[in-house]
Amino acid sequence: MHLSHTSLKPEHQIIRVPSCERWRIQRRLRELSVNAWCSTDGYLRVEVKDYVESAQVWSVVQQFIAPRTDLVGWLEQCWS
């Protein structure tokens, strides 16, 4: 599958992640130039502008919250 930089209408997404990981996820997304912030209500909010940013958000969140066995399985599938 090929992801292009096709623009979408920017959407604000609210992501429920463990509070202990919220700031780390936000920092990593900002390093990738994805607009993300931790709101006062305790949620991580992300502005997704295109399909690439959507994939980046999914990938970063998975790195922080997915069990190691799931990540290893996903990586092995990619190598197949």
Tell me: the pLDDT tens digits for 52-67? Answer: 999 999 999 999 988 9
Structure tokens at 23: 């700031």
Which residues lie closer than 8 Å to 6 by C-beta, 6 or more apart?
Answer: 50, 51
Query: What are 55's strand-pairing partners?
Result: none
Question: How far apart, in whole angstroms, are the C-alpha atoms of residue 69 and residue 24?
Answer: 21
Confidence at 9, pLDDT banded by 50, 70, 90: low
Confidence at 8, pLDDT banded by 50, 70, 90: low
Q: Write phi, then psi, for 33 (nearest 5 degrees).
A: 65, 30
Longest dimension (CA), the chain: 43
Confidence at 47, pLDDT banded by 50, 70, 90: very high
Q: Are 14 and 45 in contact (CB under 8 A)?
A: yes
Confidence at 78, pLDDT banded by 50, 70, 90: confident
